Structure 1
Amino acid sequence: MTDRIDDVHAGTTERASRTQRDILEVAIAEFAANGYAGARVDEIAARTRTTKRMIYYYFGSKEGLYLAVLERAYAQIRLVERGIRIDSLSPTEALRRLAEATYVHHTTHPEFIQLVSIENIHRAEHLRRSETVMRENVTAITLLEEVIDRGVEEGAFRDDVDALDVHMVISAYACFHVANRHTFQAIFDRDMLAPELQDSHRRLIGDMVVATMTGSRG
Structure 2
Amino acid sequence: MKAGGAGMTKAQRLAKAQTSPTPDKRTQSWTQDPEGVRRSILEAARAEFVEHGLRGARVDEIAAKTATSKRMIYYYFGDKEGLYRAVLEAMYDRIRSFERSLDLSALPPEEAMGKLAGFTFDYHAQNPDFVRMVMIENIHHARHLASSDKIAGLNLSILSVIREVYDRGVAAGLFRPGIEPLDIHLTISALSFYNVSNRASIGQVFGHDMGAPEIEGQRRQMVIDIVLRMLRP
Identify whether the pair has TM-score above 0.5, normalized to the shorter chain: yes
Which of the residues 184, 199, 203 maps onto 2:202?
184
1:200 Cα offset (Å): 2.2
Displacement of 1:136: 0.6
Aligned ranges for residues 114-133 of structure 1 at < 5 Å? 114-133=132-151
- Of 30, 33, 40, which residue of structure 1 is paired with 2:51? 33
Task: Report the count of equivalent residues.
Answer: 205
Map of 1:106-117 to 2, 5 A cutoff? Answer: 106-117=124-135
Per-residue CA deviation, residues 99-139 of structure 1 (Å, 9 max, x unaligned), is: 11111111111111111111111111111000000001000
Superposition CA RMSD, Å: 1.5
Establish whether residue 73 from structure 1 lines up as the match of residue 91 from structure 2. Answer: yes
Q: Indicate how the Cα distance of structure 1 residues 12 and 28 shifts in structure 2: closer, same or farther if over 3 A, else same.
A: closer
Distance 1:35 1:12, change over 3 A: closer
Query: Which runs of at least 4 in structure 1 moved beyond 4 Å after TM superposition?
Result: 11-14
Q: Distance in 2 between matches of 1:110 and 1:76?
A: 14
1:149 and 2:149 correspond? no
Structure 1 unaligned residues grouped into runs of 5+: 1-10
The CA deviation string for residues 126-166 of structure 1, in whole angstroms up to 9 with x for no partner, is 11000000001000111001111110011100112211111
Q: Distance in 2 between the 1:14 and 1:22 partners?
A: 14
Alignment map for 1:160-171 (pairs within 5 Å)? 160-171=178-189
Give the drift of 1:23: 0.8
- Aligned equivalents of 1:91 and 1:157: distance in 2? 9
Which one-letter code corresponds to 2:190 in the other structure?
A
Q: What are the residue-to-residue correspondences of 1:97-112 with 2, within 5 Å?
A: 97-112=115-130
Q: Under a length normalisation based on structure 2, what TM-score does the superposition of the two structures give?
A: 0.84
CA contact (8 A) 2:42 2:87 kept: yes
Q: Which moved more, 1:155-164 or 1:129-138?
A: 155-164
Deviation of 1:204 (Å): 1.7
Checking the alignment, whether the CA contact within 8 Å between 2:37 and 2:67 is kept in structure 1 is no
Residue type at the aligned position of 1:61: D
> Counterpart in 1 of 2:215?
197
Q: Distance in 1 between matches of 2:103 and 2:96?
A: 13
Shift of 1:201: 2.0
Per the TM alignment, residue 58 of structure 1 is displaced from its structure 2 partner at its CA by 2.1
List runs of 5+ in structure 2 lacking aligned partners: 1-28
In structure 1, the partner of 2:101 is 83
In structure 1, how many angstroms separate the alpha carbons of the residues matched to 2:149 and 2:115? 28
Query: Does residue 1:207 correspond to 2:225, yes or no?
Result: yes
Greater relative CO (CA pairs within 8 A, separation 6+) = 1
Question: How many angstroms does 1:47 deviate by?
Answer: 1.5
Return the alpha-carbon distance in structure 2 between the equivalents of residues 50 and 13 of structure 1. 10
Aligned to 2:76, which of 45, 48, 58? 58
TM-score, normalised by the number of residues in structure 1: 0.90
Percent identity among equivalent residues? 45
Which residue identity is paired with 1:167? H
Matched, 1:140 2:158: yes
